[in-house]
Structure 1
Amino acid sequence: MADHMSPLDAAFLDLEDEEPEVSMAISSVAVFEGPAPAPEEFLAAIRARLPLVPRYRQKARQVPLDLGLPVWVDDPAFDLSYHVRRVALAPPGQDTALHDRIGDIMSQRLDRARPLWEYWVIEGLSGGRWALVSKMHHCMVDGDSGPHLYQVIFEESPEGGAEPPPDVWTPAPEPSTLSLAAGALRELLLNPVEQARMIGRALAAPRATVQHVTDTARGLIALAGALWPASGSTLTGPIGGYRRYTVARASLTDVKEIAHRADVTVNEVVLSAISGGFRHLLLQRGEEPHSRAVRSLVPVSVRARGAEGVCENRVSVMLAFLPVHVADPVERLRAVHEHLAELKASGEAQAGEAMTALAGHEPFLPISWGLRLAAHLPQRHIVTVTTNVPGPREPLYLLGRRALEILPYVPIALRLRTGVSIFTYGDQVTFGVTGDYDSAPEVKPFARAIEHELHALSLAHRPNPAPSVVTLLRPKDRRPRRAATRPSTATKAKAADRRLS
């Protein structure tokens, strides 16, 4: 039996086919304490763990004429040394040089004739550190399954973990193009039978089916309304194949404290900070931050409990307008909270999940053609993508070296010139900012604006300080000084915008 991709996985392959310069690889970068392992030591460690990730030795094969979904097949010529690369930064190896190298690595497309992943060991970081870039095609993993691979490849203690299973892998014979086409035709003939079975299961539970259809219809109406074009700005437009990359950092403890005191979620805090970053970017470019200027695609995991190790995409989406028109950081956070509550109630994510599931029971040919047609249309509905994935709280190790931080990377395509990925590891929240090299050069000021937003939210949500001893002991007959007029939060926010610009 062929191991088929899901329609969503296949969509990422089709999208890359329609945008020849764009790489649809995602990544995370683990920065380790030194020294870096020797080349053969590192290769041996990865080779020993290959049985735990069968997908690492499989390549993608597309079915002729898109008669069926692409399939994963064993690569009889698999060569681990091809997938593990090694480079070094020039002294002094500062973080900016690492970020530039990450941008270079992620600009290059993966070889579609081989398994769709690479590991890059980067030596020469300042402070004796080194980094590991895990680069994988988006058709292979989503944001939630990627962190699980870390826990497979890495260990939870410096002494190492359990011995991996023995490697008894023998590649299965690779199917011919003719056999792939014949299998797809056979599945097309059986498709009406499968659809009849699906209808029979639905009719067996009429009440649940009616409720599911009603919820899905309501969500589809909400999604249709969300496809109204966003306000025009320089945040969208044609993009090239080269990327800029940088990061912003924050304390997870501080972010949780903001969320607790504001009675919102951690996800809403980070989206509010990103909204402030886009507001600064628009103002810096001399553009008006309208209320409908920045609509973000926000992936929502629909991965069932126990499916964390499955290497495929299991996500739906919400389409959220980021409140860049709000100047006050506190009011902006409240606006994010209220807008996301509306989107969750509308059922957008559930409708997207239902449509993706339904696509798995339909012939792939019209789906593929529709995706390719959409890739050629100049979309103005989505301006950016913002992903948020919780990572492990406990430290991870590789060959006895502790991972100091993990930096996320999200690809951009379809005229999206900027994307932001958020990843938590230990007590650090890291924002990975991806920008098109030519049309979004301000990734560093954008990242600093995100940090500034989180600092402003932290200050605004600190508990009121206790009265000083001098105030408590002031004589009753002494007239207090007249308090100076303090600027409002909105006034301070506007002043901050001017300083950042």
Structure 2
Amino acid sequence: MTNTAHEDGVFEWGVADRLNALETIMWRAEVDPALSSTVLALEVLDCEPDWERFYAAHDWGSRIVPRFRERIVDGPAGLGQPSWVQDPSFDLDYHVRRVRLPEGATMRDALDRARDIAKVPFDRAKPPWQAVLIEGLPDGEAVYALKMHHATLDGMAGIQLVAGLHSRQRGPSGPKQTPPLPAAGSTSVVRAVTDQAGRDVRGVVGAVASVPGRLLRFGRPDKAARDLARYVASLQRVLGDSGAAPSPLLADRSTDWWFGALDVEFAPLRAASKAAGASLNDAFLAALLGGFRRYHEEHDVAIEAMPFAMPISIRKEGDPAGGNAFAAARLSGPVAEKDPVARMQAVGAAVRDVRSEPALNGVGAMAPALARLPGPVIAQLAGGLTKANDLQASNVPGLREDAYFAGAKVTRFYGYAPLPGCAAMIVLISHGDTCCVAVNLDPAAIKDPQLFGRCLVEGFTEVLALVPDAPAPVWRG
């Protein structure tokens, strides 16, 4: 196992004592059920792990990562930034469970069960996570579903966590250093509430140091005015309309989810991107847009472009592991472009443009103020941005080396992210030699998920056609 740990054995992950502003927004926006912020990591295991080792691994993990024994406590009157506090009644049996699928079950049944697990809201009086071992798959396989709240981690933080907690060998690795449980009451609810006033004052000071604050400093009023004007123009581009109208085919929305999974060989997809002078992310996005084009063609609906969003990591070298550090970019996807090379290049140019925007993290700059609003107001503001998107997509570099959990090898790793009012949330995580594509759909918007899955396969096939003899993508949904 590799991790960064103190001498006392505690894994340096998720050590902040309170939610940052973005995490606060995600925590509070859930007053609107459509803005659920549950994330679910789904690992396919080559065999059913030993239950005693599986359970013990979670006990050990909850000790070396104290975040797993902490719950979220809101600020006074539900305002301000919530704090992480130790749960004095932590019960591992509540968080770690196992289920067995009926005889003859398939991966489709496992995905449906994982979806059902993800859809159950968290008990906000307990640490926001749950681990479920799903057994009974063909050929002795099993599925490990780890459900967490997005306020705990983003995609990169999730990979950091997996890298730190998974083993590099199938057999037991010998005695592990296990830190003692935290002292009861080391972080109290009373202290969390009384500290809020001081944090609010510091938040105002921090706002002055933000990008807009720096632009307004005195000394060069003429330069400050020009810089502020450029920043405001950039903010309008970042937060404004992407330029693409939502698809009429995908207009309906619900609070339901549908999980699918797609496997694509990593090396051919990367080779295809290089053949087009593009990045792996460009190839991924171009393949998704090709799949959406084909789905629209199947329904005789023609669109030129579609609004989509993607997170861009703003995590810096030396930042603490865990938590969330990303900015959301809103773009227009060239759906009608049939040439995969031209589509990759167009998407790549759009992503580069938005990455260079001075106000890329404009929402982050405003987040401290937004986080101090009541939940219904936050939900209305956040929903106004996310529900205008037909697609949200994310590409997260995963583990390239073998990983094991309680004696079982992880053969696939899918990351299911929430649907914040959009029609589809699709996440690519590279695991070993495979790009594992997790597909979360709103079945009210995409009414034929299996047809959509076939269209996605065709979209990736278009891109992979740039590489001779590239293996075909495999739809596992």
Q: TM-score interval w.r.t. the shorter chain?
A: 0.7 to 0.9
Per the alignment, do residues 229 and 340 of structure 1 end up closer, same or farther by CA in structure 2, a change over 3 Å counting? closer
- What is the CA–CA distance in structure 2 between the aligned matches of 1:458 and 1:227, rounded to whole Å? 28
* CA distance in structure 2 between the partners assigned to 1:235 and 1:249 by the alignment: 25
Q: Does the alignment pair 1:285 with 2:299?
A: yes
**Superimposed CA distance per residue, residues 404-438 of structure 1 (whole angstroms, 9 cap, x where no aligned partner):** 11122111023x12211111100101111111244
Q: 2:23 aligned with 1:9, yes or no?
A: yes
Task: Give the 3-state SS of the residue equivalent to 1:440 in structure 2.
Answer: coil
Q: Mapping of 1:125-136 within 5 angstroms?
A: 125-136=137-148
SS for the counterpart of 2:58 is helix
8 Å Cα contact 1:36/1:129 also seen in 2: no
Q: Distance in 1 between matches of 2:328 and 2:214?
A: 29
**Alignment coverage as a number of residue pairs:** 450
Matches of 1:377 and 1:197, distance apart in 2: 27
Q: Which residue of 2 aligns with 1:401?
A: 408
The alpha-carbon deviation at position 135 of structure 1 amounts to 0.7
In structure 2, the CA distance between the partners of 1:7 and 1:433, relative to structure 1 (3 Å rule), is same
Alignment CA distance shift 1:192-1:306 (3 Å): closer
**Alignment of structure 1 residues 450-489 onto 2, 5 Å:** 450-462=456-468
CA apart distance, 1:328: 3.2
Aligned to 1:112: 124
- For 1:194 and 1:336, the matched residues in 2 are separated by 35
How does the TM-score come out when normalised to structure 2?
A: 0.85
Q: Find 1:71's aligned residue among 83, 103, 110.
A: 83
Taking the aligned partners of 1:2 and 1:32, their CA distance within structure 2 comes to 32
Report how far residue 322 of structure 1 moved.
1.6
Q: What does residue 417 of structure 1 align with?
A: 423
- Of 8, 25, 42 in structure 2, the residue corresponding to residue 29 of structure 1 is 42
Assess, with a 3 A threshold, how the Cα gap between structure 1 residues 355 and 407 changes in structure 2: closer, same or farther. closer
Contact (CA 8 Å) 2:308, 2:390: kept in 1 or not?
Answer: yes
Give the structure 2 partner of residue 434 of structure 1: 440
1:46-125 superposed matches below 5 A: 46-125=58-137
Q: Deviations over 1:135-157 (max 9, x none)?
A: 10111111110111111221122
- Alignment correspondent of 2:388: 381
Taking the aligned partners of 1:15 and 1:297, their CA distance within structure 2 comes to 18
1:85/1:121 contact within 8 Å kept: yes
Among 153, 163, 173, which residue is 1:141 paired with?
153
Question: C-alpha distance in 1, partners of 2:346/2:204?
Answer: 47
Match in the other structure for 2:178: 165
Q: Secondary structure of the equivalent of 1:317?
A: strand
Aligned AA (1:157): Q
Higher relative contact order (CA 8 A, sep 6+): 2
Larger Rg: 1
Gaps of 5+ in 1: 464-501
The Cα shift of 1:170 comes to 2.3
Counterpart residue identity of residue 423, structure 2: R
Partner of 1:42: 54
1:255 aligned residue:
269
Deviating more after overlay: 319-328 vs 122-131: 319-328
The amino acid of 1:445's aligned partner reads L
Q: 1:316 touches 1:353 (CA, 8 Å); kept in 2?
A: yes
Match of 1:300, SS state, is strand
Q: After superposition, what is the alpha-carbon deviation per residue over 1:139-189, rounded to whole angstroms, capped at 9, x for unaligned?
A: 111111011111122112224558233334223256456x65543334445
- SS of structure 2 residue aligned to 1:352: coil
Shift of 1:326: 1.7
Aligned mates of 2:169, 2:336 — CA distance in 1? 47
1:251/1:429 contact within 8 Å kept = yes
Contact 2:26–2:150, Cα closer than 8 Å, also in 1: yes
- CA distance in 1: counterparts of 2:244 and 2:272, whole angstroms: 33
Residue 401 of structure 1 deviates from its aligned partner by 1.8
Per-residue deviation, 1:305: 1.9
Residue in structure 2 matched with residue 244 of structure 1 by the alignment: 258
What percentage of residue pairs aligned between the two structures are identical? Answer: 22
Please, which runs of 5 or more residues in structure 2 have no aligned partner?
1-14, 470-477
